[in-house]
């Protein structure tokens, strides 16, 4: 029996990644890693720091993987882990009372990372209508401050 990582078709695990992970977790990481990295790079401008934060988030997600899968919304819980990990690596200022950090995240994912509302909904684990409405409110709030 051969190890699945010894075949030419499968790349070896990345630094800090366990060798044998559930296929579902590997697929989750593959799907979300580019978006998570783009988000982390907004807060952590050095690529290496952003990559480290995302890798730490995936390590925490791996520890909680079975529990996440039994939750009603695993993607939303994984997003919260990523946000918390990135926040630990930054010194974010406390937002103004009328600002919600999650709305700032939506604006970052939309205007900086370039994701459309359905893609954002997929990344953070919510529905597209909710994302679109929150983006509209954020845009109106920002426009009223001009």
H-helix segments, the chain: 23-43, 47-63, 65-70, 74-88, 101-107, 117-124, 128-144
pLDDT band at 35 (very low <50, low <70, confident <90, very high): very high
3-class DSSP assignment, residue 5? helix
Instruction: Report the C-alpha dihedral over residues 29, 35, 40, 41, rounded to 10 degrees.
Output: 130
3-class DSSP assignment, residue 22? coil
Query: What is the average pLDDT across 35-47?
Result: 95
How far apart CA 7 and CA 19 sit, in angstroms, is 13
Q: What is the pLDDT of residue 4?
A: 42
pLDDT band at 98 (very low <50, low <70, confident <90, very high): low
How far apart CA 7 and CA 4 sit, in angstroms, is 6
pLDDT band at 11 (very low <50, low <70, confident <90, very high): very low
Query: What is the average pLDDT across 22-51?
Result: 95
63 has pLDDT over 90: yes
How far apart CA 54 and CA 37 sit, in angstroms, is 6
Query: What is the average pLDDT across 27-43?
Result: 96
How far apart CA 103 and CA 26 sit, in angstroms, is 29
């Amino acid at each position: 029996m051969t190890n699945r990582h010894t075949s030419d078709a499968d790349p070896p695990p990345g630094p800090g990644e366990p060798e044998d992970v559930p296929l579902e977790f590997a697929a989750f990481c593959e799907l979300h890693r580019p978006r998570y990295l783009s988000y982390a790079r907004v807060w952590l401008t050095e690529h290496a720091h952003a990559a480290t934060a995302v890798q730490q988030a995936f390590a925490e997600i791996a520890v909680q993987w079975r529990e996440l899968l039994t939750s009603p919304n695993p993607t939303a819980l994984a997003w919260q882990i990523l946000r918390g990990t990135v926040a630990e690596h930054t010194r974010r200022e406390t937002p103004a009372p009328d600002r919600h950090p999650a709305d700032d995240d939506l604006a970052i994912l939309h205007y900086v990372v370039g994701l459309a509302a359905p893609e954002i909904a997929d990344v953070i684990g919510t529905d597209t209508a909710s994302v679109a409405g929150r983006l509209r409110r954020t845009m109106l709030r920002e426009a009223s401050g001009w």
